[in-house]
């Protein structure tokens, strides 16, 4: 068994859709980035890559590469899952936290978990997603951006 941790943050901007865990969330701003800027899925990707000894998200999906412009991060997660499997491993579980002052995300968490579990081919009970605020502190608290943390367990196939 190996464990990896992932982190991602993106600024909030007008004129973009807000996508978290592959779910489009109604909000007046979205996250800025080369892909869909899904901080939750990006943190999970980095956690899986770290646990598998496969470097980081920027190594595999560089922002200078036009193939990844506005791509769904769930497609990137699917590619990372294939890399994990190619190493003879499988995803054990994911535990992730989104840090955002607004909007309230509780109504969307189960859909995020479903999207991530389906993409990884694991049961939804092995994917935990939580959301928290910073009570007005830091860039998430000032509603300048959002961040996410993720931990992943990867198990060797026997």
Domains contained in the chain, CATH given: 2-156 (3.30.1330.50)
Query: Taking a C-beta distance cutoff of 8 angstroms, is the pair 119, 78 a contact?
Result: yes
Averaged over 55-67, what is the pLDDT?
94
CA–CA gap between residue 53 and residue 69 (Å, rounded): 26
> Sign of the CA dihedral 130, 135, 138, 144?
positive
b (16+ CB within 10 A) / e for 48-70: bbbbbebeebeebbeeeeeebee
pTM: 0.97
Averaged over 83-90, what is the pLDDT?
96
What is the predicted pLDDT for the residue at 58? 94
Averaged over 95-121, what is the pLDDT?
98
- pLDDT at 116 exceeding the cut of 90: yes
Averaged over 132-153, what is the pLDDT?
98
- pLDDT at 158 exceeding the cut of 80: no
Helix (H, G, I), strand (E, B) or coil at 99: strand
């Amino acid at each position: 068994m190996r464990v990896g941790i992932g982190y991602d943050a993106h600024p909030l901007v007008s004129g973009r859709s807000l996508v978290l865990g592959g779910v489009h969330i109604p909000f007046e701003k979205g996250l800025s980035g080369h892909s869909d800027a899904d901080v939750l899925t990006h943190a999970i990707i980095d956690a899986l890559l770290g646990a598998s000894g496969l470097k980081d998200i920027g190594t595999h999906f560089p922002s200078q590469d036009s193939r990844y412009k506005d791509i769904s991060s769930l497609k990137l997660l699917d590619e990372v899952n294939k890399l994990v499997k190619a190493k003879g491993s499988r995803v054990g579980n994911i535990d992730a936290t989104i840090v955002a002052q607004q909007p309230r995300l509780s109504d969307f968490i189960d859909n995020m978990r479903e999207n991530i579990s389906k993409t990884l081919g694991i049961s939804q009970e092995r994917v935990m997603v939580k959301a928290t605020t910073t009570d007005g502190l830091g860039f998430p608290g000032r509603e300048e951006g959002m961040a996410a943390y993720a931990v992943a367990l990867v198990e060797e196939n026997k």
